[in-house]
Amino acid sequence: MAQTASIPVYKPLGASPVPKAGDQHAEVVIVGGGPVGLTLALDLAQKGRQVVVLSKLDFIPAGSKAICFAKRSLDIMDRLGVAERMIKKGVVWNVGKVFHADRDEPLYQFDMLPVKGQKNPGFINLQQYYVEAYLIDALAENPNADLRWGHEVTGLTQREDHAVLTVSAAGAQYSIKGNWVVASDGSKSPLRQMLGLDFEGRIFEDNFLIADVKFTEERPSERWFWFDPPFNGAGSALLHKQPDDIWRLDFQLGWDIDRDACIRPENVEPYVRGMIGDDIGFSEEWYSVYTFQCRRMRHFVHDRVIFAGDSAHLVSPFGARGCNGGIADADNLAWKLDLALRGEAGQSLIDSYNYEAIVTADENIRNSTRSTDFMTPKSKVSQAFRDAVLELASKHPFARPFVNSGRLSTPVSYTHSMLNTLDQDHWDGGVAPGSPALDAALDDGWLLDLLGDEFVLMTNGGDARLDGVRLVDLTSYQAANVAVERYGLPPGGAYLFRPDQYVAARWHAPTCAELEQALAAAKGNADHAVH
């Protein structure tokens, strides 16, 4: 299907042929070829599941869109073998600075990687299209994945134990059956509309201009955010470096504006000049105006159709919680679908995706809503508090943590997930059940690399074992002291990790029965624990 002329093209992929007649079937059909759908497809394909990806576009769209990839996303991409390319191409940064009015010194600065000695950096900036291209390259080498470009879903029928999609491609129609269908088809999700579902939450009445521009200048790789800078009377501004000498400039515009006029080059130029000065030559890469919403669907799992990424939840961009939140969905869902398709888990594990992905979405929505309320005060009194914070922050350290220019994406813990086994022992620190693994150097390698993508029992000596679960015994490494310390793991103690590298349970001295019960619980089978 020839695709909309209004979307700029980064890389043509060519329309995929219409499959030959016959029963079309895949274990998982993923609708949408953005970063969330592609991440999920790669994860599932690497686990041996047969996946079909349907994308109505037959190209990778240009426009930088998402540019910030957080450490947790990099850890996930590393597990899938894609992070190395991303980090090599991306701009690595850990430091963010916040400025106010015309003061040259930052009011406040933060470090996105407070715990040093981990394999991956706190953040990289990288245009979304590079990430999509790398995922597509990795998928092309995997025989379990079938990527279909220019294939648009036009109909959906739910059945008892599968769903059937009607697909339009190259003027023809065909249908395909999926044991599971994942709708990662974006904020306007056609599948969500086909099911008659909608979002709940807030829409913010403000417009922001994105000006991705190209210029050459040595500047530190840091996130710079301004409140009320002299070059933007309407509010805040953001400067962020991307690869290829491209910079993301972001300007708050206010509500009552002419959106088409705002992205005309002659109207963008004064904003860019105000920020970077008159001396530097620059060229347009991508201009766009956006408003945003902080909303989500009430449920993400609807029988055999599961929503992930922007189709399920939307946040404001300040905090990089959109794409990172979507990648977290894919990470959470892949191993659960895999176990369900293997017959090792039932509906309760899929339902735990609904719970855990909503915990993540709610935390992301809460944070981005708070950031937005701070950046764009909606009443006189919230303006007064915001200005009070900014003015106090220049002199008094206590006020600086209140300054909210976006709370950047960090991994979300599922403290109350039904997959966790509650601590029975007293722990000082360590990593609690429902939290993601913390990386640590182990001899010449890294703990996260050892955890991989399956259940792992990590011990500190002792005889704890679990049938069918890989053992990582820290005493078999020369330099495991950092890991032992970060996990607060006493001799004979153990941690059980899920395939998405979250902690499921931990013990000082586990019994066989406790280990097996925790494994069953982590698979959603708490009631069927076997001995």
Partner 1 sequence: MPCIDTSARISRPDDLYQMLIDAHQGLSDDDSMKLNAKLVLLLANQIGDMDILSQAIDLARESASPSGEIAA
Backbone angles phi, psi at 306, to 5 degrees: -120, 135
21 is an interface residue for partner 1 by CB under 8 A: no
Give DSSP secondary structure letters for 89-138. HSEEE-EEEEEETT-SS-SEEEES--S-S-SS-SEEE--HHHHHHHHHHH
385 is an interface residue for partner 1 by CB under 8 A: yes
Q: Which of 269, 303, 391, 516 binds partner 1 (CB under 8 A)?
A: 391
Stretch that binds partner 1, among 69-77, 183-191, 389-397, 499-507 (CB under 8 A): 389-397
CA dist., res. 206 & res. 227, Å (int) = 15
Number of residues that bind partner 1 (CB under 8 A): 13
Residue whose CB is less far from partner 1, 384 or 512: 384
Q: Which 40-59 residues touch partner 1, going by CB under 8 A?
A: none
Q: Which of 266, 398, 444, 478 binds partner 1 (CB under 8 A)?
A: 398
CA Rg value for the chain: 24
Give the HSE-up count for residue 407: Cα atoms under 13 Å, Cβ half-sphere.
19
Stretch that binds partner 1, among 75-83, 206-214, 376-384, 473-481 (CB under 8 A): 376-384
381 is an interface residue for partner 1 by CB under 8 A: yes
Residue whose CB is less far from partner 1, 396 or 426: 396
Helix (H, G, I), strand (E, B) or coil at 208: strand
The answer to whether 165 and 178 are in contact (CB under 8 A) is yes
- Minimum Å gap between C-beta 390 and partner 1 is 10
Tokens of 273: 């000049």
172 is an interface residue for partner 1 by CB under 8 A: no
6 is an interface residue for partner 1 by CB under 8 A: no
202 is an interface residue for partner 1 by CB under 8 A: no
Residue whose CB is less far from partner 1, 355 or 402: 402
380 is an interface residue for partner 1 by CB under 8 A: yes
Strand 24-31 and strand 172-183: pairing?
parallel
Burial (Cβ within 10 Å: 0-12, 13-18, ≥19) of residue 18 = middle
Residue whose CB is less far from partner 1, 20 or 380: 380
Element (H, E) at 496: strand 494-497
The answer to whether 16 and 148 are in contact (CB under 8 A) is yes
Residue whose CB is less far from partner 1, 245 or 391: 391
Stretch that binds partner 1, among 212-220, 236-244, 283-291, 381-389 (CB under 8 A): 381-389
Residue whose CB is less far from partner 1, 392 or 418: 392
CA dist., res. 250 & res. 153, Å (int) = 34
402 is an interface residue for partner 1 by CB under 8 A: yes
Residues forming contacts to partner 1 in the complex (CB under 8 A) are 380-381, 384-385, 387-389, 391-392, 396, 398-399, 402
